[in-house]
């Protein structure tokens, strides 16, 4: 056996995830807390806005993050609720204050759901 870091509990992951989201550090959250094969799921309606509904794997999640960054004119801030936690799941709500390129400043609310296996996030799903 090799030396391994202690597996994070779902509550540990929830606390760190909320901390990083509050700082707008979404890329850091992916790098630190997500499984290599993690999936990201948007609502079906997001396809009309040029988003893939399902994105799989860290390389593709990183590209998705870059796609988002390229659409943002200015990120003004985000508020994040306290998380609700089950054995293998995390849910919380966010409200982002953001100006997308070519659009007026807007408030975007989401429900976020994360599924955890073996101390890593294997999926994120957004509802808006």
In DSSP notation, 4-44 reads -PPPPPHHHHHHHHHHHHHTT-HHHHHHHHEEEEEEEE--G
Q: How far is the CB of 2 from a copy of itself (least distance, A)?
A: 30
Q: How far is the CB of 89 from a copy of itself (least distance, A)?
A: 5
Q: Which is nearer to a copy of itself, 69 or 79 (CB)?
A: 79
d(CA 85, CA 21): 16
Q: Which is nearer to a copy of itself, 28 or 97 (CB)?
A: 97
How many other CB atoms are there within 10 angstroms of residue 95's CB atom? 13
Q: How far is the CB of 5 from a copy of itself (least distance, A)?
A: 26
Q: Which is nearer to a copy of itself, 63 or 117 (CB)?
A: 117
- What is the crossing angle of helices 10-22 and 26-33, to 10°? 160
List residues near a copy of itself by CB under 8 A. Answer: 81, 84-93, 95, 109-111, 113, 115, 127-128
């Amino acid at each position: 056996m090799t030396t391994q870091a202690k597996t994070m509990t779902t509550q540990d992951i929830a606390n760190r995830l909320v901390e990083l989201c509050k700082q707008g550090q979404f890329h850091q959250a992916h790098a630190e807390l997500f499984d290599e094969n993690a999936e990201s799921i948007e609502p079906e309606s997001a396809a009309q806005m040029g988003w893939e509904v399902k994105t799989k794997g860290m390389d593709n999640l990183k590209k998705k993050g870059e796609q988002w960054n390229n659409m943002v004119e200015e990120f003004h801030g985000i508020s994040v609720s306290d998380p609700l936690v089950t054995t293998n799941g995390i849910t919380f709500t966010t409200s982002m204050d953001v100006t997308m390129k070519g659009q007026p400043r807007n408030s975007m609310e989401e429900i976020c759901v994360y599924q955890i296996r073996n101390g890593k996030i294997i999926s994120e799903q957004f509802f808006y």
